[in-house]
Amino acid sequence: MNLKDILAIAGYPGLFKFVSQAKNGIVVESLIDKKRMPAYASAKVSALEDIAIFTETAEAPLGDIFSKIYEKESGGLAPDAKSSPEILLAYFTDILPDFDRKRVYASDIKKVFNWYNILHGLDLLNLPEEVKTDGDVAVTTSENEELEATAENPKPKTAKKPAAKPKK
């Protein structure tokens, strides 16, 4: 699952995945307890791919922050979101030293760690395992595997059918 498929809804704990379109909103399913519920058009729904953390110079996408946590923890869990704010702040400063301390609150940092741990527990973190260089282009291992799979099983070529002649 991609971060664009995972949703956060303001006012609701946890993360959700899109299920279907409804008349006046969408239907989402909780990743934690698998319960479905409507998210109305008035709800503030954000895809995790669209969320970023303010830094002093620009914005850091949430996926990059998840990658940094994954690297620091060697694929393990992040600190518990219920840890003291001082511990979470120190850990977050270690991961993203130039985050904007005026616009990023302790509650935001807790959400990042909570979301990371939820996605890690469900094995939904699609982080590249290793980056290899293939000539001038950097290719991740997942892309290499995909390229190898398509090279082994090329798509069969189908003969084109001639266009039907119009009747006179």
Question: Pick from 58, 12, 7: which is nearest to 28 by CA?
Answer: 7
Q: What is the pLDDT of residue 150?
A: 44
Alpha helices in the chain (DSSP H): 62-72, 85-95, 106-121, 141-152
Q: What is the pLDDT of residue 61?
A: 95
- The separation between the first and the last C-alpha atoms of the chain, rounded to the nearest angstrom, is 53
What letter does residue 80 receive in the DSSP assignment? P
pLDDT of 56 above 90 = yes
Least confidently predicted of 21-30, 46-55, 81-90, 127-136: 127-136
What sign for the dihedral angle of Cα 1, 127, 105, 54?
negative
Q: What is the pLDDT of residue 156?
A: 47
| Ordered structural domains, the chain, with CATH | 3-47 (2.30.30.730), 51-150 (1.10.10.1650)
Q: Report the C-alpha gap between 99 and 101 in whole angstroms.
A: 6
**Any residues with CB less than 8 A from the CB of 115 and at least 6 apart, and which?**
8, 15, 48, 62
Least confidently predicted of 47-51, 63-67, 129-133: 129-133
pLDDT of 47 above 90 = yes
Of residues 129 and 88, which shows the higher confidence score? 88
User: Beta-carbon neighbour count of residue 109 at 10 Å?
Assistant: 22
What is the pLDDT averaged over residues 121-130?
73
In the predicted model, what is the mean pLDDT of the chain?
81
User: Beta-carbon neighbour count of residue 29 at 10 Å?
Assistant: 16
Q: What is the pLDDT of residue 141?
A: 44
